[in-house]
Structure 1
Amino acid sequence: MELLNLLWIFLAISSVIPVIRQKMLEASRVRMLRALEEKRGSRVITLIHRQESMSFLGFPMARYIDIEDSEQVLRAIKLTDPNLPIDVLLHTPGGLVLAAEQIARALARHPARVAVFVPHYAMSGGTMIALAADEIIMDENAVLGPTDPQIGNYPAASILRAVEQKSCDKVDDQTLILADIAGKAVNQVKETIRNLACVQYSAEKAEELAEKFASGCWTHDYPISVEEAKELGLKVSTDVPPEVYQIMNLYPQSRVRRPSVDYIPVPYSTPPAIPGGAERRARE
C-alpha cells in the first residue's frame, strides 16, 4: 500500500513540475520583454516559431504564421498608443499569406516608428512583415527569404513556367486550373509587397522589390543575407540589442532528442585556460 501511495505522489509531482517550469519561463519572458521595452521606449511584440514540447507527453509541434498569430498581433497593435513605437522580434519560417499580410498592413499603418529585429531568420511571410517596418535590424548572420507564393507543394512561378512551355492542348485541366490560381497568387503578393514598400521607398524601388521578392527568381528557401539585403536597397542595420538574444534563449528548441549543437554558454574574450596547462607547457 505504501508503494502505491509513493507511485501516486511521484505521478502528481511529475505532472506539476512541467507546469511550474512553464510558469517560471513565462515570467522570465515578461521580465525580459519589459526590460527591452524600457530600453527602447516601445512596445515589443514577439513572433517566434520554434518547436516547443508543451504537453505532458512532450510531443514537439512545428509552428508557422497562422490566423491566430495575426489576431494576437493585431490586438497588440490596437492596444498601442499611435505615438508609441513598436518593435517586432521575428523568428519564423513563414506561413499563411493572409495572416502575414494582415500583420504587415497593420504595422505599416501604425503612425509611430516600427522596427523589426531578425536575430536568426525571417523567411517568406516573415520577410513580408519585415518589409512593412521603418527599419530592419538583423544579426550579421541572419537572413530573410523570398515571398513568392506556394501552391500546394510547388512554387506558383514554377507552375506558370511549366504551362508556358507547352501548348494548352497538351496540358491537363487540373494543371491549367493550378496555373490560373498561381498567376493570381503571384500578382496578389506582388501588389502587397509593392504597397508595403512604397511607404518607405520610391515607386520605382517598390516595383523592383515586388518583382524581386515575389516573381520566383530564387528558390523559396534562398537565404538573403544582410549584405544582399543592403544591395537590394533595404533599410537594414545590424545593431541588435543583447536583450533580443536573451529573449530568444527563453524560447528553447524542443529537447526531446539529443541536441546536435552544444557549447559552454558564456562569452570568451581570451582563450580558455586548461587546469595545469601552464605547468605542462613549462615542462615541455
Structure 2
Amino acid sequence: MNNWYSICALDEGAEISIYDEIGAYGVSAKAFLADFGKLPDKTPLTLRLNSPGGSVFDAVAIYNALTRHAGNVTVSIDGIAASAASYIAMAGDEIIMPENAFLMIHDPSGMVMGTASDMRSMAEALDKIGASLLRGYAAKSGKAEKDIAKLMAKETWLDAAEALDMGFADTMAEPVKMAASFDVSRFQNTPPEIIEAVKAKNESVSVEPEPEPDPSPVGKTTPEPDPATIRNEAMAYAKTVVDLCRLAGQPQMAAGFLSAETSLEDIRKALIDARAADDPDISSSHPQPGPAPQAKPWGDVIARTFKRKG
C-alpha cells in the first residue's frame, strides 16, 4: 500500500518524512503513531515536510505526539508545508526553511452529509480544532492570537523570509529545487511560484514520450515506474471513488472500495444497486395517494459522473 510518510532510523536519531497528503490512501494517523511509538523516548528527530496538508484531525494527533517527544525535533520544510502540514511543523524545536520554501496557514475546513444537527456538530468540531491550531501557531511565533486569527481567516502564504520574520521559522537555508506535484487548486491564494512548479512537473510527466519497444529484451530489466505518476494516478482514483460514493449517498462505502482496489466500473454498478436498494418500494400492492412518484435517476447521474471523471 502507498503511504504518505516514512520513519527510518539513522546512526544518531531518526528521520521522519511527510511528503504527501496527510491521511491519504486510507492510512490514518493511527498507523503513523504506531510506527512513531517504536522510537526510543529521547531519540533526536528530523522531520522533513513537503505536503499540501490533509486531515486536520490526523495533523493534531501527530503534532501532539511530537510535542510530547522527549528528544529534540528539527523540522525541515523541503518544499511547502501548507494547511495541516504547517501545524505539524510548529512542533519543531527548530524549524528550517530553504529560501524558496513556503508555509501556509488557514482556518480548518470539513465536509459533512446529514441533518442540520450533524452540520452543527461539524461546525463545533471545526471551531475547536481551529482554536487548537491558533494556539499552536501563536505558541511558536509569539504573536497574539487575534493576529494569528486574521492570518488564518485569509489563507496566508509565507516564504522563508516572511516566516522567519514572523516567528514561524528559525533558520533560512539555501534554496532547493521545488518538487511539489500536489493539487493546489483547492487553495485561494497559492503563490505563482508553486503553481508554475506544479504545472511544470505535471507537463514533464504527461509529455514524456513512451519508450520504443525493445526488440531484444533478453537480459534487460524493466524500468521502474515513475513514483510521481503512480501517486497522481492513485490520488485521482481515490478522489473519483469518494466523489461517486458521496453522490450516491453512500460515503461509508468508499473505504471498502479503496482497500479492495475495485475497478471504477464495478464501483459504479455497486453504487447503483445500493441506491436502488435504499429507495422505497412503491408498487401496485402499496397504492399511494396522488401521482406516482418518479424514481430518482441515480444510475444516470452516477453514470454521467463516471463518464466525466473516468
Q: Which of 110, 135, 139 is equivalent to 1:194?
A: 135
Q: Alpha-carbon deviations, 1:172-212, whole Å to 9, x = none?
A: x96x98577446513422224415753x565xx36357524
Matches within 5 A, 1:1-284: 37-38=10-11, 41-49=12-20, 63-66=21-24, 68-152=27-111, 181-182=122-123, 184-195=125-136, 198=139, 200=140, 205=143, 207=145, 210-214=148-152, 216=153, 218-219=154-155, 222-239=156-173, 256-258=205-207
Contact 2:161 2:172 in 1 (8 A): no
Q: Distance in 2 between matches of 1:201 and 1:232?
A: 6
Q: What amino acid is the match of 2:172?
A: T
Q: Distance in 2 between matches of 1:119 and 1:213?
A: 22
RMSD: 3.8
Q: Distance in 2 between matches of 1:114 and 1:133?
A: 5
Q: Distance in 2 between matches of 1:134 and 1:224?
A: 19
User: Per the alignment, do residues 109 and 64 of structure 1 end up closer, same or farther by CA in structure 2, a change over 3 Å counting?
Assistant: closer
Contact 1:138 1:237 in 2 (8 A): yes
Q: Give the 3-state SS of the residue equivalent to 1:79 in structure 2.
A: coil
Q: Distance in 1 between matches of 2:94 and 2:14?
A: 15
Contact 2:50 2:81 in 1 (8 A): yes
1:46 is displaced (CA, Å) by 0.9
Paired residues, number: 180
Q: Distance in 2 between matches of 1:86 and 1:208?
A: 32
Q: Distance in 2 between matches of 1:240 and 1:68?
A: 33
Q: What amino acid is the match of 1:65?
A: G
Q: Name stretches of at least 5 consecutive residues in structure 2 with no aligned partner.
A: 1-5, 181-200, 209-310
Q: Give the 3-state SS of the residue equivalent to 1:145 in structure 2.
A: strand
Q: Distance in 2 between matches of 1:228 and 1:235?
A: 9
With the length of structure 2 as denominator, give the TM-score of the two structures: 0.48
With the length of structure 1 as denominator, give the TM-score of the two structures: 0.52
Following superposition, which runs of at least 4 residues in structure 1 exceed 3 angstroms of deviation?
Answer: 63-67, 176-184, 195-198, 239-242, 253-256
Q: Distance in 1 between matches of 2:30 and 2:73?
A: 18
Q: Distance in 1 between matches of 2:72 and 2:32?
A: 16
Contact 2:102 2:157 in 1 (8 A): yes
Contact 1:44 1:86 in 2 (8 A): yes
Q: Distance in 2 between matches of 1:75 and 1:196?
A: 26
Higher relative contact order (CA 8 A, sep 6+): 1
Q: Distance in 2 between matches of 1:193 and 1:114?
A: 21
Identical amino acids, percent of aligned pairs: 25
Q: Give the 3-state SS of the residue equivalent to 2:27 in structure 1.
A: helix
Q: Give the 3-state SS of the residue equivalent to 2:48 in structure 1.
A: strand
User: Per the alignment, do residues 76 and 87 of structure 1 end up closer, same or farther by CA in structure 2, a change over 3 Å counting?
Assistant: farther
Q: Distance in 1 between matches of 2:37 and 2:96?
A: 23
Q: Give the 3-state SS of the residue equivalent to 2:16 in structure 1.
A: strand
Q: Distance in 1 between matches of 2:84 and 2:19?
A: 13
Q: Distance in 1 between matches of 2:151 and 2:124?
A: 15
1:84 is displaced (CA, Å) by 1.2
Q: Distance in 1 between matches of 2:207 and 2:108?
A: 34
1:47 is displaced (CA, Å) by 0.9
User: Per the alignment, do residues 196 and 140 of structure 1 end up closer, same or farther by CA in structure 2, a change over 3 Å counting?
Assistant: closer
Contact 2:46 2:76 in 1 (8 A): yes
Contact 1:131 1:197 in 2 (8 A): no
Q: Name stretches of at least 5 consecutive residues in structure 1 with no aligned partner.
A: 1-28, 50-62, 154-172, 260-284
Q: What amino acid is the match of 1:186?
A: D
